[in-house]
Amino acid sequence: MKLKIIFALLPLFILVGTNCFAQNSFLKIKAGAPNKLKLGQSFILKASVAHNFKVEKTGGLTCTLLNAKTHVPVDGWFINIFPFQYFTTILNTPFETEFSFTVPNDYKGNFEINLVATVDQIKDSIHFLVPTYK
């Protein structure tokens, strides 16, 4: 009897889960990451966040730089001074911002750029892998 109830409710659980993931279409990050960067090179990452909510919303955008091999943050080493920015946008009007950083001269390997936008309980994220060279 209990199994029949669980199987009867299964489509409801799937539907509820689908609705939670569908909310991510309300929030969108766009950014233009570099294909590769030279050691010692500075870069300005331009990013924009837009949403499709009916009312004005305030949220936060975080830029995290990680070592691609160890997944340890390298923000301080890359001089990522402003890794978090608040934003307030209205319907279909993107918030545009920049994150500047410099690849250290003695850095070895690739690094990752993670951008995460959060409004209330809704998130969107974007991830880039950037190789470095001498």
* Non-local CB neighbours of 57 within 8 Å, separated by 6+ positions: 51, 88, 89, 119, 120
Q: Give the C-alpha separation, 57 to 124, whole Å.
A: 14
> How far is the C-alpha of 49 from the C-alpha of 94, rounded, in Å?
5
Q: Tell me the pLDDT tens digit for each residue of 53-99.
A: 888 889 999 999 999 999 999 988 998 878 999 988 777 788 999 99
Give the domain 26-133 fold: Immunoglobulin-like (2.60.40)
pLDDT digits (tens, 9 = 90+) for 7-57: 444 343 333 333 333 335 688 999 999 999 999 999 999 999 988 888 888
Is the entire prediction scored with pTM above 0.85?
no
What is the rounded distance in angstroms from the CA atom of residue 68 to the CA atom of residue 113? 9
